[in-house]
Amino acid sequence: MEETYGYDTARDISRVVTALSTIPSSMAGMKIAFGQRDGGEAAMNVAKGLGIGFGGPTAVHLIGTFAINNFGGLGGGL
């Protein structure tokens, strides 16, 4: 019986894409948090920056997990 590795490969790709998504998300979050000096709105900018920095990779991870679980890995109905 031939065994396919589509599921494991899709999980590995999802992990790499999630890890790589931390770079632009953290850079965008830092730019939002520390790039603007609006005086009283500094705390809100830091909160937005943290939301972008953590929310981006979390969204990528959740989308990848959803796709793998519902489409069965690579080549499973995409």
Would you give the distance in Å from CA 68 to the centre of its chain? 15
Q: CB of 72 within 8 A of CB of 7?
A: yes
Q: What is the pLDDT of residue 5?
A: 67
Average pLDDT rounded to a whole number, residues 14-27: 94
Q: What average pLDDT does the structure give for the chain?
A: 82
Contact 29, 50 (CB under 8 A): yes
Instruction: For the chain, give every domain's residue range.
Output: 6-71
pTM for this predicted structure: 0.76
Tell whether the model's pLDDT for residue 30 goes beyond 60: yes
What separation in angstroms does the CA of 42 have from each of 31, 32, 64?
12, 10, 33
Read off the pLDDT of each residue in 5-32 and give the average, rounded to a whole number.
Answer: 89
